[in-house]
Amino acid sequence: MNFQTVLSLVKKFSFLFFFIFISCSDNNSSESNIENESEEIEFKVMSYNISGGTFSTHKDSIISLIKKNSPDILGAQELSGSIKSEFLSLLGLSYSIIETFPSNVNISTHNIIYNNRLFNVTNFGYFETETCGPRRFINWALLKRKDNNEEYYIYNTHLCNSDLELRKQHLIDLVDLMDEHKAQFGADYKAILTGDFNSGLDTEFIQFMLGKESLTINLNIYINPVDIIDTWREVNLTDTKPSQGEISVDWIFSTPNIETISSSVDMTGTNSQNEFPSDHSPVITVFK
């Protein structure tokens, strides 16, 4: 075989190798882009009553539990003003809090915290419902994603534990507020609701939220006007939601026009004495 023949074969094989390499690179790049797009589309929401009175003792476990799950939106309950600054600093710079009372952070203890790299705040506010012990609020925010401009109404609240009539009024105020926002926003209204409802699935309170029962106050009958689903039951068709107590009282609801990918309860985070950092475990739902 002469030199010219060898050179010709080398050129042919070099071109073939280059073509295969480019093709594989393009395929890998396409797969990578698809994966990145999937990661960008999905986002994670957590509802967590951190039991703020014990935060100083269990803050490492609480923060570690939140960071492990990396929520893009966190509905926190019992986040008292005295610990908010430290709480946020431990979470890191990518998280921001929506503070409805910036001049007095002790007023509201159930705030919305969000990933500021993924979301911008379009609007926010609150509705104050009946006082039960501490003042009770329905905190809300309209968040817009930076990557695709999708907008979501986020609500976070903490219902009364002792007075059942006040709990009813709280829920009626909540769905009325949501219905008002829906009327203002229009057909594309998407909502996610987090909170400690102090109520289990079989109670009239949660059944009201799911549109299956009415509530009666002073002979007035109220029906939930907003279509809401339980994100846990949406994907866990038969499994009972785990709870540290007798019933699960922490919830993530949404309007059905947001796809639920997964929903879980993180029961980890105990210390060497097998104590949980809070008397609640966080509920986590992944949406798309």
pLDDT tens digits, 98-141: 999 999 999 999 999 999 999 999 999 999 999 999 999 999 99
DSSP string, 89-102: HHH-TTEEEE-S-T
Give me the half-sphere count of Cα atoms (radius 13 Å) on the Cβ side of residue 265: 18
10-35: b (≥16 Cβ within 10 Å) or e: eeeeeeeeeeeeeeeeeeeeeeeeee
Question: What band does 17 get if pLDDT is binned at 50, 70 and 90?
Answer: very low
Q: Are 192 and 153 in contact (CB under 8 A)?
A: yes
pLDDT tens track for 48-106: 999 988 899 899 999 999 999 999 999 999 999 999 999 999 999 999 999 999 999 99
3-state secondary structure of 211: coil
Residue 12: pLDDT over 50: no
pLDDT score recorded for residue 96: 98
Cα–Cα distance for residue pair 27/55, rounded to 1 Å:
49
pLDDT more than 90, % of the chain: 78
Cα–Cα distance for residue pair 9/85, rounded to 1 Å:
69
pLDDT tens track for 259-271: 999 999 999 876 6
**Average per-residue pLDDT in the chain?**
88
Cα–Cα distance for residue pair 161/156, rounded to 1 Å:
16
pLDDT tens track for 169-193: 999 999 999 999 999 999 999 999 9
The model's pTM: 0.85
Question: What band does 205 get if pLDDT is binned at 50, 70 and 90?
Answer: very high
